[in-house]
């Protein structure tokens, strides 16, 4: 990738429908989306202002007040505490696009004004260094998250400008981005570094898309290309006399370069490694940069890294990052169930990475993984009342062994009201309020609309607007109705005055995927890379989509040691699990009978869902002597039982207790 680029050398990235022109009305998703303006954002505003009782204080907004000179106190919280407020602002922006709310807008605008007051004259904005170490800017990129926080500021600013038309936050972000562009780069008087926690790279590309200012793209490309080069910047900065020790004694410890995806240049990387969130945020930026610059080598690296995740390091629920030690990837097929980390933010990052690759390569498999993450782990990360959250998303929980200061101390048996490190709650909020970005990819020059997530909605598109021209051509209106997760029967109504091509993703889980017109005649389109392409003539048309939704027993690759002899249950995009409140204690004693498919039953609890009922057995040794830890082998008694499976996304919303995704496979004794 050569630098610098002009806009003439860069291609516009695939677009999505404006959130102000896309309204989600979905039985499955609206139980969460409707909570965003009503419950989630107000609750998080209280958390950010340290107003919630019996929860860890955030300090985030208070730190801005201190930096602005409105209070006198020391900085408190983590070095990246600013980013929680930025993600909240981004979530507010998306919410206001669909649900105008003067009170919420006033809260956001007041925070934006506070950021402006806190910003330094030269554009710098980071409360940790402004309050705690004002002379130590940029003296520890590896550990200190300055560029990470700047990235979330930029993302919030772009979103707020796009969704509200207000540019005050954008002005603040551009001033900071301009300063960063002066400080970093290939020049002799510039720093040749890059962030320890990636995020600013993808944010700068978003800023370039919004402002058409190529220096922002070029700075993102510099950060991407400089990463992992020799000599390594993280090693050089640690040897400098003015290195800032965030952690006492850290100068003596050499940086773990693989943890920061910096052990080799990004084009040479073949394995997803290190901190999971950092990795997928980097890969998002690589995918965007490759698409904009036509960089096939960089795109190939993205595909390799995505395949390494999807083929060897991905949990069935769409989560990643196996280890509770430093929130990182481990090794191939190391997918333990009761000690996995699977941070909510990592699944969000994986969905964003998969979305980008799906748009760039026009392949359905990437959107399959985004769907898996969104419908399972991301939703499991939030309580259905919008006020409690999972940071970690295990595949199995035994509450008795979630003990502090042990190897499973990171696993919580119940969602928490807040965290000292609260990156996940506002990340979930911005994902839910911005969910519409996952539904379409739009290619104005080709008059191509790709529908990739089946979330019921109504959208209005205009080719001229999407191409940046004054609107003259007629709109396209698309209405998707039905209940994707309940019965797989959908209706897409299209109204348009000019011909265009519509591509519909065929989900990887769907054994049958039938398209038909209003009269019931089957539609035959061109199938390519997981999409079916239909050439639509002008007019109003109705397309029926019929997907076969049925329970499927799943087994893991034989290489996954933790899942040998175990099976799991899915139905459509949803992964299912057992809970103790339905099946009693000691879920390990249960075996499932796989000779027939589970029965489906509808329930109104938790907003309504399909539960699955399977025959099975409970093993027991009723005469076991509790004083005997081990004994000669003998057969257990088996009692027939009915196993009740519920969607993993909903677990933990009723009573605390055990949970298990992978269950033992039973067999009938001769």
- pLDDT of residue 279 exceeding 90, the answer is yes
Q: Residue 272 belongs to a domain with what CATH number? A: 1.50.10.20
pLDDT tens string 8-51? 999 999 999 999 999 999 999 999 999 999 999 999 999 999 99
Whether the link from the prior residue into 4 is cis, omega within 30° of 0, is: yes
In a domain, 580, yes or no: yes
Whether the link from the prior residue into 231 is cis, omega within 30° of 0, is: yes
The residue from 526, 547, 568 where one domain ends is 547
CA separation for the pair 44, 61 (Å, rounded): 12
Gyration radius from the chain CA atoms: 25
- The arithmetic mean of pLDDT across residues 269-282, rounded, is 98
Q: Are residues 536 and 417 in the same domain?
A: no
CA separation for the pair 220, 223 (Å, rounded): 5
- pLDDT of residue 2 exceeding 60, the answer is no
Q: Percentages helix, strand, coil for the chain, rounded to the nearest 5?
A: 40, 20, 45
Q: What is the pLDDT of residue 461?
A: 92
Q: Are residues 170 and 53 in the same domain?
A: yes
241 to each of 137, 244, 434, 436, 438, how far by Cα in Å?
A: 14, 9, 44, 49, 47
Q: Are residues 72 and 105 in the same domain?
A: yes
CA separation for the pair 300, 35 (Å, rounded): 40
The residue from 547, 575, 603 where one domain ends is 547
Residues found in the chain = 670
Q: What is the spatial order of strands in the sheet that 539-547 belongs to?
A: 22-24, 457-461, 476-482, 489-496, 539-547, 513-516
Quote the Cα angle for 410-414-420, to 5°: 55
Whose structure tokens read 């039953």?
601
Maximal C-alpha separation, the chain: 83
pTM above 0.85, yes or no: yes
Number of domains in the chain: 3
Considering the chain, what percentage of its residues have pLDDT values greater than 90? 91
Quote the Cα angle for 150-151-153, to 5°: 65
- The arithmetic mean of pLDDT across residues 562-587, rounded, is 98
- pLDDT of residue 599 exceeding 70, the answer is yes
Q: Are residues 133 and 226 in the same domain?
A: yes
In a domain, 208, yes or no: yes
- The arithmetic mean of pLDDT across residues 97-115, rounded, is 98
Considering the chain, what percentage of its residues have pLDDT values greater than 70? 99
pLDDT tens string 447-499? 999 999 999 999 999 887 777 777 766 689 999 999 999 999 999 999 998 89
* Burial (CB count <10 Å: 0-12, 13-18, 19+), residue 241: exposed
The two structure tokens encoding residue 310: 């999807």
Whose structure tokens read 């990129």?
141
Mean pLDDT score of the chain: 96
pLDDT class for 247, splitting at 50, 70, 90? confident
Measured in degrees and rounded to the nearest 5, phi and psi for residue 626 equal: -65, -15
Q: Are residues 356 and 226 in the same domain?
A: yes
| CB 198 within 8 Å of CB 282 | yes
| CB 92 within 8 Å of CB 40 | no
Q: Are residues 566 and 588 in the same domain?
A: yes
pLDDT tens string 153-171? 999 999 999 999 999 999 9
Q: What is the pLDDT of residue 91?
A: 99
Per residue, what are the HEC states of 168-208?
HHHHHHHHHHHHHHHHECCCCCCECCCCCCCCHHHHHHHHH
Write the CB contacts of 50 (distance below 8 Å, at least 6 apart in sequence). 57, 58, 59, 61, 62
Q: What is the pLDDT of residue 473?
A: 65
pLDDT tens string 422-451? 999 999 999 999 999 999 999 998 999 999
Q: What is the pLDDT of residue 1?
A: 57
Q: Are residues 281 and 421 in the same domain?
A: yes
Q: Are residues 510 and 585 in the same domain?
A: no
pLDDT tens string 76-89? 999 999 999 999 99
In a domain, 12, yes or no: no
Q: Are residues 289 and 415 in the same domain?
A: yes
Q: What is the pLDDT of residue 607?
A: 86
| CB 647 within 8 Å of CB 620 | no
In a domain, 5, yes or no: no
Whose structure tokens read 């809970």?
579
Q: Which residues are catalytic?
A: 327, 423
In a domain, 353, yes or no: yes
Q: Are residues 356 and 483 in the same domain?
A: no
Q: Are residues 541 and 503 in the same domain?
A: yes
Which of 155, 244, 241, 124 minimizes the C-alpha distance to 196?
244
CA separation for the pair 268, 330 (Å, rounded): 19
3-state secondary structure of 336: coil
In a domain, 3, yes or no: no
Higher pLDDT, 669 or 260: 260
CA separation for the pair 56, 421 (Å, rounded): 9
pLDDT class for 670, splitting at 50, 70, 90? very low
- The arithmetic mean of pLDDT across residues 85-110, rounded, is 98
The residue from 547, 564, 594 where one domain ends is 547
Q: Residue 453 belongs to a domain with what CATH number? A: 2.60.420
In a domain, 4, yes or no: no
In a domain, 670, yes or no: no
pLDDT tens string 374-419? 999 999 999 999 999 999 999 999 998 887 767 788 989 899 999 9
Q: Are residues 363 and 467 in the same domain?
A: no
Q: What is the pLDDT of residue 124?
A: 99
Bridge partner residues of 49 (DSSP): none
Q: What is the pLDDT of residue 474?
A: 66
- The arithmetic mean of pLDDT across residues 645-655, rounded, is 97
Q: What is the pLDDT of residue 80?
A: 98
Domain coverage including residue 579: 552-622+635-665
């Amino acid at each position: 990738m050569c630098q610098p680029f002009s806009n003439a050398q860069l291609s516009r990235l695939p677009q999505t429908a404006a959130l102000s022109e896309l309204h989600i009305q979905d039985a499955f998703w609206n139980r969460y989306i409707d909570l965003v303006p009503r419950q989630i954002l107000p609750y998080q505003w209280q958390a950010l202002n340290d107003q919630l009782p019996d929860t860890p204080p955030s300090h985030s907004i208070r730190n801005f007040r201190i930096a602005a000179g409105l209070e006198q106190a020391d900085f408190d919280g983590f070095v990246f505490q600013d980013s929680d407020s930025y993600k909240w602002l981004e979530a507010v922006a998306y919410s206001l696009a669909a649900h105008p709310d003067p009170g919420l807008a006033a809260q956001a605008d007041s925070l934006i004004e506070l950021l402006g007051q806190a910003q330094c004259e030269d554009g710098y904005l980071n409360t940790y260094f402004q309050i705690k170490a004002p002379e130590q800017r940029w003296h520890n990129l590896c550990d200190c998250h300055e560029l990470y926080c700047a990235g979330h500021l930029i993302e919030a600013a772009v979103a707020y400008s796009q969704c509200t038309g207000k540019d005050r936050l954008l002005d603040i972000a551009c001033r900071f981005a301009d300063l960063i562009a002066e400080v970093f780069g290939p020049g002799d008087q510039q720093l040749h570094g890059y962030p320890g926690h990636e995020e600013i790279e993808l944010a700068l590309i978003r800023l370039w898309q919004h402002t058409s200012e190529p220096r922002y793209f070029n700075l993102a490309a510099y950060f991407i290309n400089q990463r992992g080069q020799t000599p390594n910047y993280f090693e050089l900065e640690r040897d400098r006399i003015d290195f800032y020790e965030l952690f006492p004694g850290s100068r003596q410890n050499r940086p773990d370069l693989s943890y920061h995806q910096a052990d080799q240049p990004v084009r040479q990387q073949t394995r997803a490694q290190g901190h999971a969130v950092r990795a997928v945020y980097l890969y998002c930026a690589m995918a965007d940069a490759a698409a904009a610059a036509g960089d096939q080598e960089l795109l190939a690296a993205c595909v390799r890294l995505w395949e390494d995740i999807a083929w060897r390091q991905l949990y069935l629920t769409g989560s990643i990052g196996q280890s509770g030690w430093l929130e990182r990837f481990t090794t191939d097929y190391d997918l333990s169930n009761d000690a996995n980390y699977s941070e909510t933010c990592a699944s969000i990052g994986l969905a964003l990475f998969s979305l980008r690759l799906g748009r760039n390569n026009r392949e359905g498999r990437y959107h399959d993984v985004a769907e898996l993450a969104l419908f399972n782990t991301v939703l499991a990360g939030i309580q259905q009342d919008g006020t409690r959250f999972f940071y970690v998303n295990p595949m199995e929980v035994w509450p008795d062994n979630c003990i502090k200061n042990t190897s499973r101390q990171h696993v919580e048996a119940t969602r928490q009201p807040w965290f000292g490190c609260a990156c996940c709650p506002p990340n979930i909020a911005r994902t839910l309020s911005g969910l519409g970005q996952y539904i379409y990819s739009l290619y104005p020059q080709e008059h191509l609309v790709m529908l990739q997530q089946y979330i019921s909605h109504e959208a209005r598109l205009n080719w001229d607007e999407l191409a940046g021209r004054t609107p003259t051509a007629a709109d396209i209106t698309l209405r998707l109705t039905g209940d994707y997760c309940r019965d797989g029967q959908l209706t897409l109504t299209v109204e348009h005055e000019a011909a265009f091509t519509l591509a519909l993703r065929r989900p990887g889980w769907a054994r049958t995927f039938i398209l038909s017109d209003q009269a019931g005649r089957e539609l035959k389109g061109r199938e390519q890379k997981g999409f079916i392409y239909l050439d639509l003539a002008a007019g109003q048309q109705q397309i029926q989509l019929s997907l076969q939704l049925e329970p499927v027993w799943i087994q893991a690759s034989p290489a996954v040691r933790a899942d040998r002899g175990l099976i799991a249950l899915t139905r459509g995009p949803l992964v299912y699990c057992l809970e103790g409140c339905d099946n009693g204690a000691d879920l390990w004693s249960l075996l499932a009978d796989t000779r027939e498919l589970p029965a489906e039953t509808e329930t109104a609890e938790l907003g309504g869902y399909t539960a699955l009922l399977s025959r099975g057995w409970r093993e027991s040794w009723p005469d076991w002597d509790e004083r005997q830890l081990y004994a000669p082998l003998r057969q257990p008694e088996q009692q027939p039982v009915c196993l009740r499976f519920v969607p993993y996304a909903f677990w933990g919303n009723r009573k605390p207790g055990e949970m298990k995704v992978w269950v033992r496979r039973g067999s009938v004794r001769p």
